[in-house]
């Protein structure tokens, strides 16, 4: 099997919905790989795996390590990695240097947050051979500007600004854009307006694709998951039960059994 390419994803505008899930580790990437079009190494890794309160403390070194792991664990899904906060906003050159490290780690494209403000940076990267996915609407790295993780584009002026951001990203050469946490009609309008595939999360069923955080759909991230998450499994309960059974077996000296331990030949 051959890996899904970035031009193949870009060509899916208005076609069969693009399926994206996050992955941070090789074993999870291996399990998701047959089912998705792309694996996203999201900077959500900071919150989901490392227990951070937000994504602001995620480093490029973390993203490189998780990208390498996901690349090793997969063979067919396209690999897209987030540029973390502080590694791309100050200049196109800074963005290029950070992106080059993610591509060297195995990513085929990078994702960065921001609209018209980031357009010059997006074209700088694209002209130099780095495919870019945009990310607009609720942009978690702007947590403190938004005053929390809250739905964006509620009034007409805010909606118009997000549409303008989508246009600017498209003109800059992004191959696709994530639309997160906006009112449904706005996500639908952007999808109808721009020529590149939109990937929704808390957006619209009419987006050209959907993305969710894998740990959320597996029921690993606690009870306070956002409204836009659909839970497809309850792995927290499965893990709780496995750990409890192991603890009970150890305390009752039921584990290890004969099958799990080694005896010298003479004693058998």
**Residues within the annotated binding site for 3-methyl-2-oxobutanoate?**
43-44, 82, 111
Q: Segment 224-263, which members bind Na ion (CB under 5 A)?
A: none
Write out the binding residues.
43-44, 82, 111, 113
Q: Is 82 in the site for ligand KIV (CB under 6 A)?
A: yes
Q: Identify the CA nearest to 7 among candidates 98, 109, 102.
A: 109
Helix/strand/coil percent split, the chain, to 5: 45, 15, 40
Among 10, 18, 42, 202, binds ligand KIV (CB under 6 A): 42
By beta-carbon proximity to Na ion, the closer residue of 43 and 165 is 43
Whole-number Å distance between alpha carbons of 165 and 45: 26
Asked if 112 and 118 touch (Cβ cutoff 8 Å), the reply is yes
Interacting partner of 201 out of Na ion, ligand KIV, none (Cβ under 5 to 8 A depending on kind): ligand KIV
By beta-carbon proximity to ligand KIV, the closer residue of 40 and 95 is 40
Q: Segment 172-191, which members bind ligand KIV (CB under 6 A)?
A: 178, 180
Among 10, 163, 194, 211, binds ligand KIV (CB under 6 A): 211
Binding mask 25-54 for Na ion (x = CB under 5 A): -----------------xx-----------
Whole-number Å distance between alpha carbons of 153 and 159: 4
Whole-number Å distance between alpha carbons of 23 and 36: 11
Count of residues that interact with ligand KIV, criterion CB under 6 A: 11
Handedness of CA 154, 143, 49, 42 (dihedral sign): positive
Asked if 186 and 206 touch (Cβ cutoff 8 Å), the reply is no
Phi, psi of 15 (to 5 degrees): -105, -145
Among 64, 194, 213, 220, binds ligand KIV (CB under 6 A): 213
By beta-carbon proximity to ligand KIV, the closer residue of 6 and 211 is 211
Catalytic site positions: 180
Asked if 22 and 40 touch (Cβ cutoff 8 Å), the reply is yes
Binding mask 69-98 for Na ion (x = CB under 5 A): -------------x----------------
Asked if 110 and 67 touch (Cβ cutoff 8 Å), the reply is no
Task: List residues binding Na ion (CB under 5 A).
Answer: 42-43, 82
């Amino acid at each position: 099997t051959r890996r899904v390419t970035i031009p193949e994803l870009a060509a899916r505008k208005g076609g069969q919905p693009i399926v994206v899930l996050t992955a941070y580790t090789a074993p999870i990437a291996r399990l998701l790989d047959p089912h998705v079009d792309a694996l996203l190494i999201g900077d959500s890794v900071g919150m989901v795996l490392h227990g951070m309160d937000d994504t602001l403390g995620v480093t490029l070194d973390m993203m490189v390590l998780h990208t390498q792991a996901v690349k090793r664990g997969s063979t067919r899904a396209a690999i897209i990695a987030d540029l973390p906060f502080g590694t791309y906003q100050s200049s196109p050159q800074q963005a290029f240097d950070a992106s080059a490290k993610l591509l060297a780690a195995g990513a085929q494209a990078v994702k960065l947050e921001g609209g018209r403000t980031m357009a010059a940076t997006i074209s700088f990267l694209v002209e130099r051979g780095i495919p870019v996915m945009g990310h607009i609407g609720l942009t978690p790295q702007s947590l403190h500007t938004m005053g929390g993780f809250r739905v964006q584009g509620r009034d007409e002026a805010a909606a118009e600004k997000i549409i303008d951001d989508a246009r600017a990203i498209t003109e800059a050469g992004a191959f696709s854009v994530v639309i997160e946490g906006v009112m449904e009609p706005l996500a639908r309008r952007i999808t109808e307006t721009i020529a590149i595939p939109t990937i929704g999360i808390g957006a619209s069923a009419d987006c050209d694709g959907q993305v969710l955080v894998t740990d959320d759909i597996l029921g690993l991230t606690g009870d306070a998951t956002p409204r836009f998450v659909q839970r497809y499994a309850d792995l927290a309960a499965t893990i709780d039960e496995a750990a409890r059974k192991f603890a009970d077996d150890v305390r009752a000296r039921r584990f290890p059994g004969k099958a799990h331990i080694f005896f010298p030949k003479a004693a058998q």
